[in-house]
């Protein structure tokens, strides 16, 4: 009972702070509405939050170092004892669901926003407007403040130039090329059911072919499928398969391709299909009923800042930070330098189950 | 006699304890997920389970899974038998030890390690297939899967045969030999029939393990879909627990059918070979005509295993095997910098769980084989569910069962230990069942007639006779705990670090080198534990030794 009241108070304070900073131009958060009056009063009186527990647990989706890197940097800066554990986006969501009765983690550090959209629908997340979220374009954050974006990733195509040469295959330059019979058995991608990367590719194709005519997009996927060697579990695995020369082409996020090249797979190069490509928002959110709630909120505030997002550069991650003042790796692909489709991830998130089911039943098992 | 044992209060207590233990650690967690398969929003509803078998796509996956399971189990059982025969009847000394340890090596297969090594060696860019032979072979699909799964699982069959062949009283074979039978004929008409429980047990356990195998199909499955992957994808990708459980039901059903089939096949036939009468003979070597092909086969298998493992070690010391072969220690520096806690935690949890699993297996085996309790075989097949359930489903069940009061244990070491124990107790159970079936109950009866109670008899007569089986299954359990991934993925907490998850992490970050470095540490830890424990409990103990 006591704990509840405390949490509520903390929540009010947090919303208040968000509003205080947001001032005029911020989007309104539905969850904030009832607390507005109290919030305004609190905002002027107490800009600092109630003291936290000094402990924080992160469930992260980004691969090892990046996840740990954020945790270490935060601990150094604030003295809050932070531990980070990594599960892929899909496993992370399954974990949050199963943990619902007794959550183990305070913050979920994504990973693509579509997982957060699904989690919010199931009531696994707590609304919170982090300080600085007002600077974000509306498209990069949740209307109900269940999550906020901190990076952007562009979908790319990894090409193994050595294998292409060996096989006398021309370098593909478009999605259309990738469905040509010449590349039979030479493409690796992940399964859209387990990988956000693969689903982004699928949703990109479906949107390119008309949101109202998914059949057209599926017709392309059926042709493309004939060239796929194997649907991998993890989104980044195709970059390795292409890097090792087991296939010539891997469908992967550009930041993963660049990191794979950094890991030593030197025959890889990156290609952006000429018709345009899709993108994702990496999001962060508070776990509902989580331990160390106040620390979680402070962490989210920190995550929105340029200092945290600049870590992407020092951690050799090629995701594009969303904060305008964050340092950016020159090699990181930007929306201005790559042709992107008008990607509607809300549409993609809403219809994910339908499309993935259809993919699992119609495309993946089809003969090649 | 038996009535004496039956009247023992200790047996009743044991039965009660086993019931409570199985209900708490296995049935309760499994029921948390399985209920979802039959209880829909509108009440009792089995339609999701039925849909799996009536729709063409899942139907194809079910059939494919069965075909793969049977093929792998048959290949692994035969290979396990052949290698065990080689180490027990065709070789001695160093060669025997070499083959023995080489055959045990794949028990310590860190996730994905063997599948990745196979791709390195035999993949499209494989060092052997392409580099040496200039072939372009694609291992992705059924063939590659059978290959990797057989290498991964035949050691389980080997352990079962090895324990029994070493305990087989040579006098029986000796008698046949003295009557003029050839070694080949003895093998066919004496040895193999006596090993019936071993064949059944080995086939069953490999079949069950192959069905639940997730790591290999993920890496090398190609187009070949299996239920374990579909179940996994349903949970982590589609977040559809009902579908996952419906698939899991079909994954567990064949295991249960196989269990009853093996019961029928072994039946009530007596395969007692440990009688307590002093046996003078030592096992003779097989004739050259059988021995030489056996040794050849075993050496070939051992060489293949060593080659696959060598790739892991070479990979750990190179920048990026196959692409940048510069020798480096970076991988180890990195792994020791960030992985120390994971190594300690994983070893501790695995070591605590292993003896619990093998003792639980032995006690349940004792209940099943040595008592006349009504419904005793239920202990057996309920325990087997722990191995038959897909790891991710089992993990989910454990998590759901223990994350709320009165048993809010999630986040503690207890949940890991529970998961480890229920996952590996079935193997301990099979090994103990096979061992107990070979011991003549009259040894125990003699002890009982001399006034010893059931507890004393068990401790001083039965236990020493099944030591080999118990030690083997403890080792097996430890190795499996150290290398399991899907069972514990969802159990992960901020406080306990698990090595296999770190390995997965490295592989997903494309750092094959540090993934390999982790794997080598895991392999070395487990391998030395095996060697040390085997030295401690050296060699088979015969009934005569126990008696003196």
Query: Distance between CA atoms of B440 and B463, rounded to whole angstroms?
Result: 14
From chain A, the residues in CB contact with B404 under 8 A are 101-102
Q: Which DSSP symbol is given to B458? A: I
Given the structure tokens 């939050």, which residue do they identify? A49
Domains A2-151+280-321 and A153-279+336-363 share a fold: yes
Four-residue CA torsion sign, A290, A65, B232, B491: negative
Q: Which of B301, B355, B490 is nearest to B411 (CA)?
A: B490
DSSP letters spanning B490-526: GG--SS---HHHHHHHHHHTT-HHHHHHHHHHHHHHH
Q: Looking at the partner chain, which of A234, A236, A244 has a beta carbon nearest the beta carbon of B322?
A: A244
Strand partners, A269: A159
Q: Name the residue of chain A whose CA is nearest to B58's CA.
A: A361
Contact call for B490 and A91, based on CB within 8 A: yes
Q: Taking the model in full, what pTM does it have?
A: 0.83
Non-local (6+) Cβ contacts of B304 within 8 A are B151
- Tokens coding B224: 């070949």
Spell out where B197-313 has E strands: none
Question: What's the average model confidence in pLDDT over B452-456?
Answer: 84
Q: In which domain, by residue range, is B441 found?
A: 2-547
Percentage, residues of chain B above pLDDT 70: 93
* Average pLDDT value for residue range B491-495: 85
Based on the structure, what is the number of domains in chain B?
1
For residue A107, give the chain B residue with the closest CA: B494
Beta carbons of B492 and A87 less than 8 Å apart: yes
CA dist A308 and A305 (Å) reads: 6
C-beta separation of B468 from B163 below 8 A? yes
CB neighbour burial string for A46-75, b if at least 16 within 10 angstroms, e if fewer: eeebeebeeebbbbbbbbbbbbbbbbebbe
Q: Would you write out chain A's pLDDT as a tens digit for each of its 368 residues?
A: 444 444 444 444 444 443 333 333 333 334 433 444 444 444 444 445 667 788 999 999 887 678 889 999 999 999 999 999 888 888 888 889 888 888 999 999 988 888 898 899 889 999 999 998 888 888 899 999 999 999 999 999 999 999 999 999 999 999 999 999 999 999 999 988 878 889 999 999 999 999 999 999 999 999 999 999 988 877 888 999 999 999 999 999 999 999 999 888 999 999 999 999 999 999 999 999 988 999 999 999 999 999 999 999 999 899 999 999 999 988 898 888 899 998 888 888 888 888 988 998 899 888 88
| Residues of chain A neighbouring B410 (CB-CB closer than 8 A) | 99, 102, 104
- Give the integer Cα–Cα distance in Å for A2 and B306: 61
Residues 6+ apart with CB under 8 A from B468: B163, B166, B167, B435, B537, B540, B541
**Site from B127, B142, B494 to mutate, A interface, most A CB atoms within 10 angstroms:** B494
Chain B residue closest in CA terms to A89? B236
Query: Is there a contact between B237 and A353 if contact means CB atoms under 8 Å apart?
Result: no
- CATH code: domain A153-279+336-363 is 3.40.190.10
Which B-chain residues 421-480 have CB contacts (< 8 A) with chain A? none
Give the tokens for residue A105. 């983690």
Check CB contact under 8 Å for B403 and A185: no
Choose between B367 and B265: higher pLDDT: B367
> Which residues in B lie closer than 8 A to residue A62 (C-beta atoms)?
none
The DSSP line for B109-132 is --TTHHHHHHHHHHSTT-IIIIII
- pLDDT-derived band at B539 (thresholds 50, 70, 90) equals low
Q: Is B59 on the interface with A (CB under 8 A)?
A: no
Closest residue of chain A to B124, computed from CA coordinates: A246
CB pairs under 8 A between A and B: 142
Q: What is residue A68's predicted lDDT score, i.e. its pLDDT?
A: 87
pLDDT, tens digit, 9 for 90 and up, residues B42-62: 777 777 777 777 777 778 889
In chain B, the residue whose alpha carbon lies closest to the alpha carbon of A97 is B239
pLDDT in tens, B241-255: 788 888 888 888 888
Residue reference for tokens 């032979």: B133
β-bridge mates for residue B371, sequence order: none
Pairwise CA distance, residues A349 & A88, whole Å? 17
To the nearest whole percent, how much of chain B has pLDDT over 90? 33
Angstrom distance (rounded) from CA B30 to CA A126: 30
Would the CB atoms of A236 and B510 count as touching at under 8 Å? Answer: yes
Rounded to whole angstroms, the Cα distance separating A312 from A301 reads 17
Residue A238: the pLDDT is 93
Pick the residue from chain A with its C-alpha nearest to B495: A83
Kindly give the interhelix angle for B56-85 and B288-316, rounded to the nearest 10 degrees: 120
pLDDT at residue B541 greater than cutoff 80: no
Quote the pLDDT of residue B242.
81
Residue A233 token pair: 């579990």
Residue B283 pLDDT:
67
B236 in contact with A, Cβ within 8 Å: yes
* B95 Cβ contact partners less than 8 Å away, ≥ 6 residues apart: B295
**Preferred mutation among B117, B222, B229, B509 to probe A, highest tally of A CBs within 10 A:** B509
E strand or H helix at B324, and its extent? strand B324-327
Residue B214 tokens read as 């997730």
Task: Look at B323 and A267 and tell me if their CB atoms are within 8 Å.
Answer: yes
Instruction: Confirm or reject contact between B235 and chain A (CB < 8 A).
Output: yes
C-beta atoms of A244 and B411 within 8 A: no
Residue B11 confidence class, pLDDT cut points 50, 70, 90 = confident
Token readout for B233 is 């994808």
Run of H or E residues at A148:
strand A148-160
- Say whether B232 and A88 touch across the interface (CB within 8 A): no
Domains of chain A, residue spans: 2-151+280-321, 153-279+336-363
When CB atoms are compared, the residue of B223, B232, B403 closest to A99 is B403
Domain CATH code at residue B380: 1.10.3720.10
Query: Considering only the top CATH level, what class is A2-151+280-321?
Result: alpha beta
- Residue B31 distance to chain A (closest CA, Å): 15
| Portion 324-343 of B in contact with A at CB < 8 A | 324, 338
Quick one: residue B180, left, alpha or beta (phi over 0 = left, psi -120 to 50 = alpha)? left
Which residues of chain A lie closer than 8 angstroms to B311, CB-CB? none
Interface ipTM > 0.90 = no
DSSP A71-94: HHHHHHHH--EEEEEE--HHHHHH
Half-sphere exposure of B182 (CA within 13 A, CB side): 7
Q: How far is CA B349 from CA A296, B109, B483, B496, in A?
A: 30, 18, 12, 9
Note the pLDDT of residue A36.
42
The answer to whether A244 contacts B323, with C-beta atoms less than 8 Å apart, is: yes
Are A266 and B140 an interchain contact pair (Cβ–Cβ within 8 Å)?
no
Q: Which residue of B has its CA nearest to A57?
A: B494
C-beta atoms surrounding B541 within 10 Å: 17
Query: Alpha helices of B23-131 — where are they, by DSSP H?
Result: 28-38, 47-54, 56-85, 93-104, 113-122
CB A121 within 8 A of CB A147: no
**B400 interface with A at CB cutoff 8 Å:** yes
Contacts 24+ apart (CB under 8 A), B323-330: B323/A243, B323/A244, B323/A264, B323/A265, B323/A266, B323/A267, B324/A264, B324/A266, B328/B513, B330/B513
How many Cα atoms sit within 13 Å of B255 on the Cβ side? 26
For residue B41, what pLDDT is reported? Answer: 67
Chosen from B32, B119, B236, B397 to mutate, greatest number of chain A CBs within 10 A? B236
Contacts of A120 in chain B (CB under 8 A): none
Give the per-residue pLDDT at B269: 62
Average pLDDT over chain B, rounded to an integer: 85
3-state secondary structure of B435: helix
Distance from the A218 Cα atom to the nearest Cα atom in chain B, whole angstroms: 18
- Among residues A15, A82, A17, the alpha carbon closest in space to that of A292 is found at A82
The per-residue DSSP string of B477-492 comes to HHHHHHH--TTTGGG-
Residue B454 CA to residue B398 CA, distance in Å, equals 34
pLDDT value of position B267: 66
Å between A264 CA and nearest CA of chain B? 6
Amino acid B59: pLDDT: 84
- Please give the Cα distance from A329 to B478 (Å, whole number): 45
- Pick from A44-48, A192-196, B127-131, B150-154: least confident: A44-48
Please give the Cα distance from A24 to B152 (Å, whole number).
63
State the pLDDT at residue B279: 59
Q: Which of B60, B490, B511 sits opposite A263 (nearest CB)?
A: B511
Identify the pLDDT of residue B290.
85
Integer angstrom CA distances of residue A292 from A49, A80, A214, A287, B293: 13, 11, 44, 10, 65
């Amino acid at each position: 009972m006591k704990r509840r009241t405390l949490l509520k108070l903390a929540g009010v304070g947090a919303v208040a702070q968000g509003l205080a900073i947001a001032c005029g131009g911020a989007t309104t958060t539905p969850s904030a509405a009832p607390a507005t009056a109290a919030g305004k009063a609190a905002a002027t009186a107490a800009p600092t939050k109630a003291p936290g527990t000094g402990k924080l647990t992160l469930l992260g989706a980004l691969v090892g170092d990046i996840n740990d890197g954020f945790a270490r940097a935060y601990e150094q800066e604030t003295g809050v004892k932070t531990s980070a554990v990594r599960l892929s986006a899909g496993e992370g969501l399954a974990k949050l669901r199963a943990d619902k009765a007794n959550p183990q983690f305070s913050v979920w550090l994504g990973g693509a926003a579509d997982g957060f959209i699904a989690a919010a629908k199931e009531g696994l997340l707590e609304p919170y407007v982090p300080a600085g979220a007002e600077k974000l374009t509306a498209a990069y954050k949740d209307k109900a403040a269940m999550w906020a974006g901190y990076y952007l990733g562009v979908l790319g195509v990894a090409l193994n130039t050595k294998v292409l040469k060996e096989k006398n295959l021309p370098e593909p330059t478009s999605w259309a090329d990738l469905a040509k019979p010449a590349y039979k058995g030479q493409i690796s991608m992940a399964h859209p059911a387990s990988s956000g990367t693969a689903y982004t590719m699928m949703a990109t194709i479906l949107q390119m072919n008309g949101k109202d005519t998914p059949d057209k997009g599926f017709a392309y996927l059926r042709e493309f499928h004939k060239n796929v060697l194997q649907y991998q579990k993890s989104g980044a695995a195709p970059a390795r398969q292409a890097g090792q020369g087991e296939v010539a082409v891997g469908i992967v996020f550009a930041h993963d391709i660049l990191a794979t090249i950094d890991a030593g797979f030197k025959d890889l190069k990156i290609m952006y299909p000429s018709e345009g490509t899709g993108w994702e928002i990496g999001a962060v959110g508070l776990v509902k009923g989580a331990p160390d709630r106040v620390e979680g909120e402070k962490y989210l505030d920190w995550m929105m800042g340029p200092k945290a997002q600049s870590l992407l550069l020092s951690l050799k991650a090629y995701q594009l930070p969303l904060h305008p003042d964050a340092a950016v790796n020159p090699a990181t692909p930007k929306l201005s330098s790559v042709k992107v489709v008008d990607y509607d991830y809300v549409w993609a998130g809403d219809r994910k189950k339908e499309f993935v089911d259809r993919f699992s039943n119609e495309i993946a098992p089809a003969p090649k | 006699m038996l009535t004496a044992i039956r009247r023992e209060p200790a047996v009743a207590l044991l039965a009660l304890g086993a019931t409570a233990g199985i209900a708490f650690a296995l049935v309760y967690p499994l029921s948390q997920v399985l209920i979802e398969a039959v209880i829909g929003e509108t009440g009792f509803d089995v339609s999701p389970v039925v849909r799996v078998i009536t729709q063409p796509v899942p139907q194809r996956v079910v059939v494919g899974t069965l075909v793969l399971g049977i093929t792998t189990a048959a290949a692994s059982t035969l290979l396990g038998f052949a290698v065990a025969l080689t180490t027990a009847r065709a070789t001695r000394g160093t060669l025997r030890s070499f083959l023995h340890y080489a055959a045990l090596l794949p028990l310590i297969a860190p996730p994905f390690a063997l599948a990745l090594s196979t791709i390195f060696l035999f993949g499209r860019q494989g060092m052997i297939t392409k580099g040496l032979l200039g072939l372009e072979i694609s291992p992705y699909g059924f063939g590659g899967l059978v290959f990797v799964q057989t290498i991964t699982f035949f050691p389980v069959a080997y352990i079962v045969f090895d324990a029994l062949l070493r305990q087989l009283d040579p006098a029986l074979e000796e008698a046949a030999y003295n009557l003029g039978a050839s070694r080949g004929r003895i093998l066919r008409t004496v040895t193999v029939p006596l090993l019936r429980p071993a064949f059944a047990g080995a086939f069953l356990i490999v079949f069950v393990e192959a069905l639940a195998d997730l790591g290999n199909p993920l890496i090398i499955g190609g187009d070949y879909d299996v239920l374990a992957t579909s179940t996994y994808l349903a949970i982590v990708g589609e977040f559809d627990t009902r579908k996952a459980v419906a698939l899991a039901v079909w994954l567990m059903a064949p295991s249960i059918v196989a269990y009853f089939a093996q019961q029928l096949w072994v039946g009530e036939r007596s395969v007692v070979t440990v009688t307590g009468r002093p046996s003078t003979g030592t096992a003779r070597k097989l004739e050259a005509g059988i021995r030489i092909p056996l040794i050849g086969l075993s050496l070939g298998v051992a060489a293949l295993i060593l080659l696959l493992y060598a790739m892991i070690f070479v990979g750990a010391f190179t920048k990026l095997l196959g692409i940048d072969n510069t020798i480096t220690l970076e991988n180890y520096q990195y792994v020791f910098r960030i992985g120390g806690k994971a190594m300690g935690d994983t070893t501790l949890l695995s070591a605590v769980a292993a003896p619990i699993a093998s003792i639980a297996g032995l006690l349940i085996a004792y209940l099943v084989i040595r008592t006349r309790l009504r419904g005793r075989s239920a202990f057996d097949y309920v325990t087997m569910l722990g191995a038959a359930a897909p790891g991710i489903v089992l993990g989910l069940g454990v998590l759901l069962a223990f994350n709320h009061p009165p048993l809010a244990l999630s986040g503690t070491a207890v949940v890991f230990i529970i998961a480890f124990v229920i996952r590996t107790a079935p193997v301990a159970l099979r090994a103990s069942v096979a061992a107990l079936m070979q011991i003549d109950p009259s040894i125990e009866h003699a002890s009982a007639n001399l006034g010893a109670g059931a507890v004393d008899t068990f401790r001083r007569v039965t236990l020493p006779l099944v030591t080999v089986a118990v030690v083997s299954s403890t080792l097996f359990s430890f190795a499996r705990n150290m290398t399991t991934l899907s069972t514990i993925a969802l159990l992960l907490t901020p406080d306990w670090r698990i090595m296999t998850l770190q390995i997965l992490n490295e592989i997903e970050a494309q750092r094959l080198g540090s993934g390999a470095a982790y794997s080598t540490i895991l392999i070395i830890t487990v391998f030395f534990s095996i060697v040390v424990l085997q030295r401690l409990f050296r060699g088979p103990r015969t009934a005569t030794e126990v008696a003196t």
